[in-house]
Chain A
Amino acid sequence: MLTCKEVLDSLSDYLDADMKEDLINEMRRHIGSCQDCRAEVDTVTMTIKLYKHEDNQNQGARVMPVGCHDRLVKVLELEKMRLKGDNPPKMV
């Protein structure tokens, strides 16, 4: 039987199913019978779900602001002139 420390150390790999099947089964057995480790697994799982859900919900807030593309193009044009030695006005 795995110890609680071993379960905690492997918690992340367990959530990602990134371990051998017999170890996954051992983890399951321990978590099934240990309330503290179950709470560890469930709360880390919920933490990840919360961040993913929040990120999906706020997708609109990560759209590039108006003018952002044009400013980027301008910066690149100035760099192009600089590299060609055209002495562009100093970038701010």
Chain B
Amino acid sequence: MSAVTDEELVRKSKEDDERAFGELVSRYESKVYSLALRMVRNPEDAEDVLQDTFLRAYRGIKSFQGASTFSTWVYRITANSALMKLRKKQLPTVSIDDADERETPVNIADWSPGPVEQLLSKELQHEMDEAIGALAPEFRQVFILRDVEERSNAEVAEILDLSVAAVKSRLHRARLKVRNRLAGYFSDSAKPKRAMGAH
């Protein structure tokens, strides 16, 4: 069935062809799970998002007009479902309106020289995870789709139903927020231990 296009499978699914919908599930379940896991950051919630996504796709396939591709449509459902999951959990995040960007550079330490492999310790990975977790879900979605999944601004805009300008604005702010958090980590880890407790 792999030579059959998504469009053909969608058309058959609209006519209650269960095998066609099953093939769409097989084609996209791994990608949907992976995107969900990147967004919600734990396997149980990612599986909930996966099930919710395909349940919604199954219920909505007949009204799917084909204005976007099936893949964009299914990723949009995934992003919405993940967003709802994150909002329900109400973990403390940096609000989307909380502008913490600086207007001018403030002489930050440049921790960038050196190969990425050398910097990436377990401790840093934990900090990176925390930094993503602290982002408001609306920022997190854009950062993951753009910088981790490496989709274009236009694709992200289509998936999230935003303007390209809104995607760029959120991406800019998300990048700075995450970088600021990592800058804090590098600056703390550079301090001599004795100085930490000093008054």
Residues on A close to B: CB < 8 A?
A: 4-5, 8, 11-13, 16, 18, 34, 36-40, 42-55, 57, 62-65, 68-69, 71-73, 75-76, 79-80, 83
If A43-B179, A65-B47 touch, does A57 touch B58 (CB 8 Å cutoff)?
A: no
Chain B residue, CB-CB nearest to A37: B105
* A53, chain B: closest CB distance, angstroms: 5
A49 & B54 in contact (Cβ 8 Å cutoff): no
| Alpha-carbon distance between A48 and B59 when the two chains are bound, in angstroms | 37
If A79-B55, A79-B58 touch, does A18 touch B153 (CB 8 Å cutoff)?
A: yes
For A43, give its contact among B33, B55, B183 (CB under 8 Å): B183
Residues of A within 8 A of B163 (CB): none
13 interchain pairs (CB within 8 A)?
A: A4-B105, A8-B101, A13-B172, A36-B104, A36-B107, A39-B110, A51-B143, A53-B116, A53-B117, A54-B120, A65-B47, A75-B55, A76-B58
Interface flag for B34 (CB, 8 Å): yes
Query: Contact string, B80-101, partner A, CB cutoff 8 A, digits 1/0?
Result: 0000000000000000000001
Most buried by A among B38, B103, B172: B172
* B164, chain A: closest CB distance, angstroms: 10
A72 & B175 in contact (Cβ 8 Å cutoff): no
Count class of interface residues, chain B = 35 or more
For B105, give its contact among A18, A39, A47, A62 (CB under 8 Å): A39
Residues of A within 8 A of B103 (CB): 5, 8
A contact face: mostly helix, strand, loop, or mixed: helix
B55 & A76 in contact (Cβ 8 Å cutoff): yes
A8 & B51 in contact (Cβ 8 Å cutoff): no
B29 & A42 in contact (Cβ 8 Å cutoff): no
* A27, chain B: closest CB distance, angstroms: 14
Residues of A within 8 A of B54 (CB): 72, 75-76
B29 & A45 in contact (Cβ 8 Å cutoff): no
| Alpha-carbon distance between A54 and B60 when the two chains are bound, in angstroms | 35
B179 & A44 in contact (Cβ 8 Å cutoff): yes
B38 & A62 in contact (Cβ 8 Å cutoff): yes
Interface flag for B30 (CB, 8 Å): yes
Interface flag for B106 (CB, 8 Å): yes
| Alpha-carbon distance between A36 and B108 when the two chains are bound, in angstroms | 7
| Alpha-carbon distance between A11 and B174 when the two chains are bound, in angstroms | 12
If A13-B168, A51-B128, A52-B150 touch, does A43 touch B120 (CB 8 Å cutoff)?
A: no
| Alpha-carbon distance between A25 and B41 when the two chains are bound, in angstroms | 39
B34 & A62 in contact (Cβ 8 Å cutoff): yes
* A92, chain B: closest CB distance, angstroms: 12
